[in-house]
Amino acid sequence: MLRDKNLVPLSRQHQHALALCVRLDRALRAKEIELNAWQAEIAEIFQQEIAIHFEAEEKHLFPAAMKYLQLCEVTQELIGEHARLRWLFAEAKDGRLDRKGLEIFARLLAEHIRKEERQLFEGMQKVMSTGDLAEAGLALQRELGEARQVCTVPGEATKLRPKA
């Protein structure tokens, strides 16, 4: 289903975060991982983009979705996932994620994003009126204007290096 224009800003940020997950997954599989560099990048991305993204969803998107019975369960799941992901971001900021923690982080973040895109966004587009989507979109646009787009450029230390 084509994404409604009011949800596109969130979808773009989702693409950035998924790119982070892919890069991290590749680095983990290559067995060349700099834990501190990855954790620093994850913490920076959270501070500069994802924290604002989560707040915008929780303040505007989730309440709009909760008005529809068929979206309540998935919305509640997503709220719980935000709490778990915030904890993982905090662990990264404090340098407490080991290799397994980074694997869990990448998997949970990717699964969360896919659930939002495939279940919540698709569901919202099916049940919400054009006006309700536009209202949510305007509120999201104002809120997301503060977020820097940092996920598109990997940090120097976390780029997947070719083998010599």
**Residue ranges of the domains in the chain?**
8-151
Tokens, residue 48: 């500069």
pTM, two decimals, is 0.86
What count of Cα atoms within 13 Å lies in the side-chain half-sphere of residue 58? 14
Q: What is the pLDDT along the chain (164 residues), one digit of tens a residue?
A: 799 999 999 999 999 999 999 999 999 999 778 999 999 999 999 998 999 999 999 999 999 999 999 999 999 999 999 999 999 999 999 999 999 999 999 999 999 999 999 999 999 999 999 999 999 999 998 888 765 544 444 555 555 443 33
Quick check: 1 and 100 in contact, CB under 8 A?
no
Say which residues have a Cβ less than 8 Å from residue 54's Cβ, sequence separation at least 6: 82, 85, 86
What count of Cα atoms within 13 Å lies in the side-chain half-sphere of residue 81? 22
pLDDT at position 155 is: 53
H or E stretch at 20 = helix 8-29
Domain 8-151 has CATH 3.40.50: no
- Alpha carbon 47 to its chain's center: 12
Tokens, residue 122: 């698709």
Measured at the alpha carbon of residue 152, what is the angle toward residues 45 and 36, in degrees to the nearest 5?
45
Residues belonging to the chain:
164
Tokens, residue 30: 């290559």
pLDDT at position 75 is: 98
pLDDT at position 157 is: 52
